[in-house]
Structure 1
């Protein structure tokens, strides 16, 4: 019986059938088969993250505690996203509420004054359940926690305390306290301490109680859990969980250090090893090497290399060198005994490529933390104006995204809780004629902007000219330009009005002073343009 001849197969350069390689190359074996052993499992983000959530967060917090660059990375997030004061710019949606723009503006000014009194009280700190933080400090802490572990949590408490205008208080909750009770395994309705419904929405959180430190040896976590629902039956938030999901069904946030933890952990070891090398090279200017054979040494010491006899021999040699007291350029070099050789120790190339290697690692860290290399490494010696502006401008977009999604969201939720109580207690006057109450249009009542730290000015003169030109061309407003500087335009206008009145009262020529300032600005601009590098 004659067997069928198999059809000839067309092979590629790696010896693989041609048809599979006609798909995406990244999903194939790769050139020469380099990718053939790269077979990662296809997992959801929870399946990839939750089993190692605690270990990854513990490593991230460890490097932030002990690594200067990691600590600086967190601080850069806090300073650029929040700054020294997180200002409320309240803008209720007057169209939805059915009031005039003037009535909305008057109501906003009243609310902002009450909010500032409550939120930024430096002595009472009643908005904080622990009475340790002002509102800005809460937001700064939230950004720092989110940078370290990828999420931020807090609970809304109701505490009656003398001296406080309101009973609303915010209790910060460290994400490490949210976990499954008694170490239970994850299920469809309970993942990493978060109770979820069939749609994947969180409905409550299991919060582990604080524990004793056990003479400094414990982890500070207790053995009991409290279940806290996400909101009350009146839809008032009780527990808030803030993170940026990257995929459907994601339950917990992933920290930013996961992609750079290996490099973060290796960098200090590199520095310590290099430092030890420098120290060893600097300790000795010269050494003496002896080529005396062992049998001769043993003969001198009586045939046995005993400890006391060896010490006696070394002492005799040392006394011999000490008596001669020969020096070379201030460094003592003894006359040598027969069989000894003098070796001059030099440090050689102190760098030996280490700076380039360290810079490469730091660039990796900067990319993982979404930070400019120059600010993370504190290295500005080789950067030009154009490069600095491009780098910081690109990073500014990232910080603004984080401000909107993380810091402003947390701030708005806290403001919503406070405003609800202010209206409930009639501590602010509700505008007359509103068509919707607080619960019918919560978003319209709580619409606001938050002003954090201003954008860093590389060249203040050039950027001031750009701001003036944008306003004059109708492409921007005083509100937007002041916000870029981290200021509230209404506060600036109020201050300018007070200063104008003060100048008039003192009979000072305000117009002349402003004209002189503009002349100085124009002259400086001309000088800067003429001497600007290409």
Structure 2
């Protein structure tokens, strides 16, 4: 008859779920049990019951409305929040700085030419690129910025807007060598025509292939859709991403971050930290105002019954009053060490604000560390405050440069290298440079290979860094090209050529070479 008291598996599961919701232990072991194998997937644990996110595509998880709000708040944080601006400009200054310099590196083996011929081509290509990149009238559709300045603008706009687009119109100008221009377009101007909703082939101004997801065209507004225009109505222009005949890049999309397959638009750099950033800014402003109020402590004086009204301060007698009427006293305001008179019968109530707050700095630093971790910026790099040891400061710089190097590589892939290839295309088409077999895609890639070198990382102790670089070269772990680019931002070839010219000039002028006095005793000792 014992089978009458048996409980079905379904009833056991229901009882276990009820016990978990009530915080009671289950038969599966103590109060820490879960109805799922992964505790993070539990829907019964009290700590997880209210965490119910939804699954969605990359487009749905970054909808048009939410992305617009994130962009607006990121731009406001860039303008008004100290930490927000610090994070964005830190990335701009370290990733781009004074500009990423193009050093052509023609693949001579793939082209079947000698190294000397490749060096000549590299020199010619670099000269043509310099003529184009350093003249705003050549490279910029607005004719205001060089290519190096455009790099910084594009990166800043992508960080605050999630992405930025670059059109490549063909504009002839008197006195210029080329007609390929780069026109930066903010993320707001790429949108669906007439605010129509997204569909299977159109997502926030990007028209794409529904089968492969490849972009086909973008819709560019002639203004900002959220701004009222009284002179001319808003219009949208459809611009193909690739040329129909040649495959030429007509539109570039510079991303801030692309984190998921199928993602069509990017999220701003500050998007994950906007909430703590706003709260920390309000807390910091409140503490600053409290400290100002504490510093502007004012003394109030109480009058007795025998106080003679004729002895009022001159500020109280600014306006003549009828006989027997109470005088109009000036408003009571805070001032730096001010003394304010009070009318008879009034009594001041003072309070000690106890500012500055001793706990402000530890709490601020704790939150700043979390924000920096989310942005891949150590707090020392974010605040430019290196107060710890040399090792800790150097570790912070190296960790930050991992992120800088990654973003520099993204910028090169999205903006710099395509710009260079467009310039070489036009140079070949205009006959300014001869590249046999350039129409072959494989040979074209061999001709347009280049290295982009940005500002050097710098060093806390340059002597230690130089000795470490020499040790890596001697041990065969690195080479002079890598170390020269990391320490000076220049290629080894340029450094060598310039150094050779300097040494030859010194010898021609019969000047003493550096370290010559130290080299002579060393040779004497070896002979002995």
TM-score, normalised relative to structure 1: 0.81
Corresponding residue to 2:250 among 238, 244, 248:
238
**2:165, 2:187 within 8 Å by CA — same for their partners in 1?**
yes
Give the corresponding residue for 1:451. Answer: 453
- The question of whether the paired residues in 2 share the 8 Å contact of 1:80 and 1:399 is answered with yes
The structure 2 residue matched to 1:81, chosen from 66, 82, 95, is 95
8 Å CA contact 2:162–2:187 kept in 1: the answer is no
The 8 Å contact of residues 287 and 343 in structure 1, kept in 2 or not, is answered as no
Q: 2:238 aligns to what?
A: 227
Q: Structure 1 residues 498, 236: CA separation in 2 closer, same or farther (over 3 Å shift)? A: same
CA RMSD of aligned residues (A): 3.5
The answer to whether 1:362 aligns with 2:351 is no
- Indicate how the Cα distance of structure 1 residues 517 and 477 shifts in structure 2: closer, same or farther if over 3 A, else same: farther
Q: Is 1:422 equivalent to 2:427 in the alignment?
A: yes
In structure 1, distance between residues paired with 2:422 and 2:468: 39
Residues 68-467 of structure 1 correspond to what in structure 2 (within 5 A)? 68-121=82-135, 124-197=136-209, 198-210=211-223, 223-233=234-244, 234-243=246-255, 244-287=257-300, 346-380=352-386, 382-430=387-435, 437-467=439-469
C-alpha separation in 2, matches of 1:517 and 1:415: 48
What does residue range 41-52 of structure 1 map to in structure 2 within 5 Å? 41-51=54-64, 52=66
Tell me which residue corresponds to 1:298: none
Q: CA deviation at 1:343?
A: 5.9
Supply the distance in 2 between the matched residues of 1:335 and 1:80 (Cα, whole angstroms): 58
Q: CA separation of 1:332/1:141 partners in 2, compared to 1, >3 Å: closer, same or farther?
A: closer
* Deviates further, 159-168 or 271-280: 271-280
Q: Distance in 1 between matches of 2:295 and 2:301?
A: 16
Distance 1:73 1:199 in 2: 36
SS at match of 2:139: coil
Does structure 1 conserve the Cα–Cα contact (< 8 Å) formed by 2:300 and 2:341? Answer: no
Match of 2:312 in 1: none
Alignment CA distance shift 1:340-1:411 (3 Å): closer
- Corresponding residue to 2:513 among 510, 514, 531: 510
- Pair 265,349 (structure 1): closer, same or farther in 2 beyond 3 Å: closer
Tell me, which stretches of 5 or more residues in structure 1 are unaligned? 293-307, 319-329, 520-534
CA distance 1:273–1:173, shift in 2 (3 Å): same
CA contact (8 A) 2:98 2:148 kept: yes
Equivalent pair of 1:157/1:238 in contact (CA under 8 Å): yes
Provide Cα deviations, 1:241-293, integer angstroms capped at 9, x if missing partner: 13242112111111121111112223332233223222332333445789x9x
* Partner Cα separation in structure 2 for residue 220 and residue 462 of structure 1: 63
Query: Displacement, 1:201?
Result: 0.8
Return the offset for 1:356.
Answer: 2.0
- DSSP-derived class of the 1:125 partner: helix
Shift of 1:213: 10
Q: Which residue of 2 aligns with 1:57?
A: 71
Between 1 and 2, higher relative CO (CA 8 Å, sep ≥ 6) is seen in 1
- From the superposition, tell whether residues 357 and 312 of structure 1 become closer, same or farther in structure 2 (CA, over 3 Å): farther
* TM-score, scaled to structure 2: 0.82
Q: 1:518 to 1:394 in 2, by over 3 A?
A: farther
SS at match of 1:39: coil
Relative distance call for 1:333 and 1:448 in structure 2 (3 A) is: closer
Would the alpha carbon gap of residues 82 and 104 (structure 1) be closer, same or farther in structure 2, given more than 3 Å must change? Answer: same
Could you say what secondary structure the match of 1:510 adopts?
Answer: coil
Q: Deviations over 1:204-263 (max 9, x none)?
A: 00011126998xx76999621000000112110001113242112111111121111112
Q: Who is 1:496 aligned against?
A: 499
Given that residues 241 and 250 in structure 2 are in contact (C-alpha distance below 8 angstroms), is that contact kept between their aligned partners in structure 1? yes
- The whole-number CA distance in structure 2 between the counterparts of 1:276 and 1:349 is 10
For 2:232 and 2:471, how far apart are their aligned partners in 1? 57
Deviation digits for residues 40-97 of structure 1 (CA, Å, limit 9, x no counterpart): 1111221010231111111111111222322221111111111213111211222222
CA separation in 2, counterparts of 1:172 and 1:219? 24
**Change beyond 3 A, Cα 1:280–1:489:** same
Q: In the aligned structure 2, how far is the partner of 1:409 from the partner of 1:333?
A: 64
Any idea what the Cα deviations from partners look like across 1:414-451, whole Å, max 9, x if unmatched? Answer: 00000111112221233xxx566453433222221100
CA pair 192-458 structure 1, distance change in 2 beyond 3 A: same
Q: Which residue matches 2:482? A: 480
Separation of aligned partners in 2, 1:30 and 1:483:
56
Cα distance in 2 for partners of 1:364, 1:232 equals 45
Distance (whole Å) between structure 1 residues aligned to residue 74 and residue 471 of structure 2? 45
Aligned partner of 1:34 in structure 2 is 47
Question: Residue 287 of structure 1 contacts residue 345 of structure 1 at CA under 8 Å; is this kept in 2?
Answer: no
Structure 2 unaligned spans of 5+: 306-320, 331-336, 523-528
